[in-house]
A = this chain, B = another copy of it.
Amino acid sequence: MPPRENRPSPSAAQLRSDGSATIPVTVMLGPNAPPVRRAPASLARRFYHICMTMIADCVAPAGLTPLQFAVMSYLNKQNGEPGIDQNGLAARLGVDRNNASLLVEQLGKMGLLSRRVSEDDRRARLLQLTPKGERLYARFEAANVEANNRILDPLTSAERNLLLDMLTRIVTRNAAFARPGAGRRKPKRARSPSDQE
């Protein structure tokens, strides 16, 4: 039995005190589901969770996390960019270079990915999948595409394209804010230089 229901038509448009219209506050997700804020941040959170669940289910049989599989999708030679370096990979994935380093190490240990020192810049390591990695990617690529498509099942074909275009525009124009891990609380005490040792 749900608690008391006391909400004034949650999906109705809200008027501010000056009479100007703003985004409706909440939307119902279903007859037995709770209302959710009809705002980018709320919907983005759920959208992201849905995508993670879908992709995780899809690539788990390969023994990979969604991010690990994403690495392979950027490096495979069917439709990726083999030969990019780790910073380039990090930028594509939306992770920082420490994280990219860890991902590369994980896939390397599994024998799916290999590095070679760049001839142009001996600091840089150019990345590519091993034959084993290419085979694994090839085996799961179709399922991954299909999982991504299934997320958009509720949309028409035209809407799917429109959604991806709009998200692309949002991501492009707000690229400066696409820092992973933002939104978490700042560490209590950053060790100051004099603290060291």
A residues near B, CB below 8 A?
A: 1-4, 6-7, 10, 14, 22-23, 25, 27, 29-30, 33-56, 65-67, 70, 73-74, 79, 81-85, 88, 91-92, 94, 118, 120-121, 124, 126, 145, 148-149, 151-155, 159-160, 162-164, 166-175, 177-180, 182-185
Output the least CB separation between A87 and chain B (Å).
Answer: 8
Output the least CB separation between A163 and chain B (Å).
Answer: 5
- Look across to chain B and name the residue whose beta carbon is closest to the beta carbon of A169: B154
Cβ A3 vs Cβ B179 within 8 A: no
Query: Among the interface residues A27, A44, A94, which one has the most CB atoms of the partner chain B within 10 A?
Result: A44
Q: Known: A40-B164, A81-B6, A148-B23. Contact between A177 and B49, CB under 8 A?
A: yes
Output the least CB separation between A64 and chain B (Å).
Answer: 9
Output the least CB separation between A136 and chain B (Å).
Answer: 17
B residues in contact with A53, CB < 8 Å: 177-179, 182-183
Cβ B51 vs Cβ A124 within 8 A: no
Q: Known: A36-B171, A92-B34. Contact between A51 and B44, CB under 8 A?
A: yes
